[in-house]
Amino acid sequence: MNKKGQESAGKEKSQDQQEPNQENIADFIAVLEEHRKQCEQEGKYVEAEMAKNRIEELKHQEFQRRREELIFNQTKEREEVEQAHIMEYQEFNKNWDDTLAQIEAQDQQAIQALEEKHVRELEENRQVLEQKLPLTFKQSAELLNLRQIEQNLARQKSYAEAHQVQVKAQQLEEDEREKAVQARHKKIVAAEAKLIQKQQNEMNALRKKIEGAMNERLKQREFEHNKLLQRYQNVKKELENQHNIDRQKLEKQYATRPSTAMNRSQMNTSRMNSSKIIGKASQKPASKPSYQ
């Protein structure tokens, strides 16, 4: 080999041994590819083989680097989507828990207020009945007749007979008074029972209204909960599809002749597409329920 050939070989060897950095590796591969073609045309097949092997080695190294970088970025994007979902889910549950707790407290206040009202009504009704139903009773004709006989016998100085009639009249009066007290008590109990039944109906209606409203709120919460989960699954699926596309593009890119433009834009395109998907995960933050 002449001096000129040795210099050329040394220069080519220097090019083969030069270690490119990550920023200009695509350009370096392009230079090697041109060198391989030139060697092929000049019949320098050993050097062409060396250039070809070096190109394949660099392609493999670049593919591994880009693949690891892609996996890292995609893992980070999945974690960001997951974290955004967790935060939205926690906020959703907190808002609903706070709202339902506040409404439940209001419902208990309404029940307590009605209970206090019923207590006042019972007391007022009892006082009215006590005044309306006096303790005195109307004496029967038989009792009045015995009292008249007693007085007549006393005027006739028939005291023994008058005493007997008196005892009989007192017993009858006691019996009639007892019956009157019992009748009065039954009227009071009946009136209170009627009022209590009315109050129970009012309480049942209030509790039914509260329960129905709470069930509707729980249904709404379940609906929004399922909607939130479905939105997360959609974003997750879309991100997974985009990641698959990016991986396929990368594998396809290094399975054929590499394009310098694609080398430089591949990762940027991937990041832009994934960023759009991640943004969708936080477009609809959990809103505080407004059901009062």
Task: Say what the pLDDT of residue 21 is.
Answer: 63
Length of the chain: 292
Q: Note whether residue 88 is domain-resident.
A: yes
Q: Note whether residue 291 is domain-resident.
A: no
* Helix orientation angle between 159-255 and 45-132, rounded to the nearest 10 degrees: 170
Q: Note whether residue 285 is domain-resident.
A: no
Query: Does residue 266 carry a pLDDT above 60?
Result: no
Query: Does residue 18 carry a pLDDT above 90?
Result: no
Mean predicted confidence (pLDDT) in 66-77: 93
In angstroms, the CA 136 to CA 159 distance is 29
Q: Note whether residue 289 is domain-resident.
A: no
Q: Note whether residue 154 is domain-resident.
A: yes
Share of the chain above pLDDT 90, in %: 46
Comparison of pLDDT for 185 and 249, the residue scoring more: 249
Task: Say what the pLDDT of residue 289 is.
Answer: 58
Task: Say what the pLDDT of residue 197 is.
Answer: 95
**How many angstroms separate the most distant Cα atoms in the chain?**
179
- Domain around 85: 3-280
Comparison of pLDDT for 134 and 282, the residue scoring more: 134
The rounded mean pLDDT for the chain is 82
SS (H, E, C) 267-283: HHHHHHHHHHHHHHCCC
Task: Say what the pLDDT of residue 275 is.
Answer: 52
Start-end of H helices in 18-140: 25-41, 45-132
Mean predicted confidence (pLDDT) in 44-65: 90
Q: Among 96-110, 115-129, 224-238, where is mean pLDDT lowest?
A: 115-129
In angstroms, the CA 139 to CA 141 distance is 7
SS (H, E, C) 138-194: CCCHHHHHHHHHHHHHHHCCCHHHHHHHHHHHHHHHHHHHHHHHHHHHHHHHHHHHH
Nearest to 32 by CA among 250, 24, 7: 24
Assess contact for 149 and 172: CB atoms under 8 A: no
User: What would the pLDDT profile of 268-280 be if each residue is shown by its tens digit?
Assistant: 444 455 455 445 5
Task: Say what the pLDDT of residue 268 is.
Answer: 46
DSSP state of 79: H
Residue 226 tokens, joined: 């399922």
Q: Note whether residue 29 is domain-resident.
A: yes
Q: Note whether residue 292 is domain-resident.
A: no
* Confidence category of residue 133, pLDDT binned at 50, 70, 90: confident
In angstroms, the CA 99 to CA 90 distance is 14
User: What would the pLDDT profile of 167-208 be if each residue is shown by its tens digit?
Assistant: 988 888 888 888 888 888 888 888 889 999 999 999 999 999
Q: 103 by DSSP, 3-state: which? A: helix
Task: Say what the pLDDT of residue 41 is.
Answer: 93
Task: Say what the pLDDT of residue 72 is.
Answer: 95
Residue 68 tokens, joined: 């690891």
Residue 203 tokens, joined: 């309480």
Query: What is the number of structural domains in the chain?
Result: 1
User: What would the pLDDT profile of 32-49 be if each residue is shown by its tens digit?
Assistant: 989 989 999 999 999 999
Q: Among 92-96, 137-141, 154-158, 286-290, where is mean pLDDT lowest?
A: 286-290
Task: Say what the pLDDT of residue 176 is.
Answer: 82
Q: Note whether residue 124 is domain-resident.
A: yes
In angstroms, the CA 164 to CA 156 distance is 14
Task: Say what the pLDDT of residue 280 is.
Answer: 52
Query: Does residue 245 carry a pLDDT above 90?
Result: yes
**59: exposed, middle or buried (Cβ count in 10 Å: 0-12, 13-18, 19+):** middle
First to last CA, the chain: 95
Question: Which among 229-233, 247-251, 260-264 has the top mean pLDDT?
Answer: 229-233
Task: Say what the pLDDT of residue 26 is.
Answer: 80
